[in-house]
Amino acid sequence: MTSTTPAAIQPFGARLTAALRARGPLCVGVDPHPSLLTAWGLGDDVAGLERFTRTTVEALADRVAVVKPQSAFFERFGSRGIAVLERAVADARAAGALVLMDAKRGDIGSTMAAYAAAYLDPSGPLCSDALTVSPYLGFGSLRPALDTARAHGAGVFVLALTSNPEGAEVQRAVGSDGVSVAQAVLDRIAAENAADAAAQTAPLGAVGAVLGATLARAGVEVPAGVPLLAPGIGAQGATAADLPALFGSAAGQVVPSVSRGVLRHGPSVPALRSAAARFCDEARSALGTV
């Protein structure tokens, strides 16, 4: 597989930068959780899933920079749920949003290559602009996803320091060199971006990190140019106003992510749009972006 990005496709970091500048610094999750389906007056079935998803995409995909479908909430309905997800990805991209597939895939060899083909190759119906991946089978296990993303101008967000309590036993573990696992992941991400000649002119690299906004960069140093997906805004307790203190000099690299904080305002399209606009304005103000 080629390791260069086709000339006609901008690297993901450049597209992400442009989207954030044009639409504001916000990623909104598409998380059809059973409790949200119920709150919207929908059934916890494929019909409810489809209505929820179409409404969310209609309300937000033409105005927010990034939408982030959580694959698990679609997978639980089997092939019919995946069909809804395929339609959502296509519709959101057609409306101008970048689609970040939140699937947290992590495996080895041909299996990781198959995941990469499913989510990052334009020939696949689930092809997205970026994919979340887990490096905890070893960072090298991500090579098929990293190479496929680079070949097609896509992005990868690698789990580095997540907000779930269980993550600390692995992510904060310290090796014999005194470096934490999370820091080692961030350093490998930086090396990947440095090796991508096609992306050198973009302010952000194509390989990003997931850093929970409730934990931020506690105990780690974030390399310049690494886009930082920061989930946890809203229902998990973090606010946009927290971002500068949490991320320090890396605040300009942050993509704040909110899900339930916006989605709980459905099924009203105007209410969903208003909630997203409010979070986006708060993030703009906090991060000092125009």
**Tens of pLDDT, residues 123-165:** 999 999 999 999 999 999 999 999 999 999 999 999 999 888 8
pLDDT tens digits, one per residue of 43-74: 999 999 999 999 999 999 999 999 999 999 99
Residue 204: how many other CB atoms lie within 10 Å: 25
Q: Is the peptide bond before 25 cis (omega within 30 degrees of 0)?
A: no
Top-confidence residue, 28 or 10? 28
Ramachandran sector of residue 199 (left: φ over 0; alpha: ψ -120 to 50; beta: rest): alpha
pLDDT tens digits, one per residue of 236-274: 677 888 888 888 889 999 999 999 999 999 999 999 999
Catalytic residue flag (residue 104): yes
pTM: 0.94
Short-list 198, 215, 92, 202, CA closest to 159: 215
What domains appear along the chain, each with residue ranges and CATH number?
Answer: 12-287 (3.20.20.70)
Catalytic residue selected from 33, 104, 143, 264: 104
Whether the per-residue pLDDT at 1 is higher than 70: the answer is no
Q: What angle do CA 38, 272, 266 make, to 5 degrees?
A: 15
**Range in 75-79, 114-118, 230-234 with the lowest mean pLDDT:** 230-234
**Predicted pLDDT at 271:** 98
Asked if 52 and 266 count as a contact pair (C-beta separation under 8 A), the reply is yes
Tell me the torsion sign for CA atoms 261, 266, 271, 272.
positive
Write out the E strands in the chain: 27-30, 66-69, 98-105, 130-133, 155-161, 207-211, 228-233, 254-258
Residue 272 tokens read as 């969903």
Distance CA 200, CA 223 (A): 14
What mean pLDDT is predicted for residues 21-35? Answer: 97
Top-confidence residue, 7 or 234? 234
Top-confidence residue, 10 or 87? 87
Percent of the chain with pLDDT over 90: 79
Residue 141: how many other CB atoms lie within 10 Å: 18
Short-list 162, 155, 158, 65, CA closest to 119: 155
DSSP state of 200: T
